[in-house]
Amino acid sequence: MAGIIGHILPLALGVALSSVPIVVMVLILLSPRGRWSSLTYLIGAVIGLAGLTTLFTAVATLLPPAPSSTKSPLIGTIEIALGVGLLIIAGTRWRRARRRHHEETLAQPGATAAACANTATDDGTSAVGGGPTTSRTGAAKWMAKVTTLGPIPSLGVGFVLMLRPKNLLLTIAAGVAIGAGGATVSEVVVGIALFVVLGISTLAAPIIFAVVDPSRMRRPLEETRIWIEGNSATVTTIVVLVLGTVIVGSGLAHY
């Protein structure tokens, strides 16, 4: 059991520090119907993460048992593939962050209109004359839409956000760690529960506190939203990079 916990702790941390679900949570909490919508959003996220973890753990139990407690080329290959996938995501996010920073630099006063007009955004559109980019306008639109969500749509959003590529890779890795080591049924249940609880903790704690005392939580939520909007790309890239490296190292240890 200690080995399972050791494997899933960093993976659960990666899920917990996913910036998009946290930003959506903050926006929902700050919305007019935030109290009930945030609760259903949390329920949807729990269902999504628990369902995926259970599914991937069940699939992992079908893998042939390792010939020894430490050597398993098949599990090693799976972990290396998952780790490389996370490293690719980290590299992609880093390149996008650098490109976005370059675009913002060109958009500052003094940059030529032509340079700004020829600068491509993440979705392939271009900036115009030093004004806000199309991608920023799109982000503002979806953020505004999130604040209008009711309880039922919020549940769906919470579920869908657990299906993002980074979360899928982390959940697959957790399923392999839990289900492919010959653990007992009770150890599997505890492992899944621990992964889900830790992975969802950054959503559950603020929502519970906000429901209990909404007036006190409003200012911290506003400050959190502003901080995440300014630093989420860097934080997420570093977390994904570290986790990818750890998973690749764990995979190599199985050879």
Global pTM reads 0.69
229 pLDDT tier (thresholds 50, 70, 90):
low
Say which residues have a Cβ less than 8 Å from residue 79's Cβ, sequence separation at least 6: 173, 176, 247, 248, 250, 251, 254
Catalogue the long-range contacts made by 215-220 (C-beta closer than 8 Å, 24 or more residues apart).
217/29, 218/30
Better pLDDT: 253 or 199: 199
* Least confident stretch, 43-52, 192-201, 236-245: 236-245
pLDDT at res. 108: 60
The label of the residue with tokens 């929902």 reads 28
The one-letter amino acid code at 85 reads G
pLDDT at res. 110: 52
Helix (H, G, I), strand (E, B) or coil at 213: coil
| Domain residue spans of the chain | 2-252
CA distance 163 to 168: 6
Handedness of CA 232, 234, 238, 240 (dihedral sign): positive
| pLDDT > 70? residue 46 | yes
What's 64's DSSP letter? P
CA distance 18 to 165: 11
Helix (H, G, I), strand (E, B) or coil at 58: helix
Average pLDDT over the chain reads 76
Q: What percent of the chain has pLDDT over 90?
A: 20
Radius of gyration of the chain (CA): 21
| pLDDT > 70? residue 241 | yes
Helix (H, G, I), strand (E, B) or coil at 126: strand
| pLDDT > 70? residue 254 | no
Say which residues have a Cβ less than 8 Å from residue 128's Cβ, sequence separation at least 6: 116, 117
Contact 3, 181 (CB under 8 A): yes
Each residue of 88-142: pLDDT tens digit? 877 787 777 677 666 666 666 554 444 333 434 333 443 344 444 444 555 556 6
For the residues 157-165, what does the mean pLDDT come to? 91
Better pLDDT: 83 or 228: 83
Contact 197, 42 (CB under 8 A): no
Q: Which has the closest alpha carbon to 203: 46, 81, 84, 52?
A: 46
| pLDDT > 70? residue 240 | yes
For the residues 28-46, what does the mean pLDDT come to? 89
pLDDT at res. 97: 67
For the residues 19-26, what does the mean pLDDT come to? 86
The label of the residue with tokens 């290396």 reads 80
CA distance 244 to 4: 18
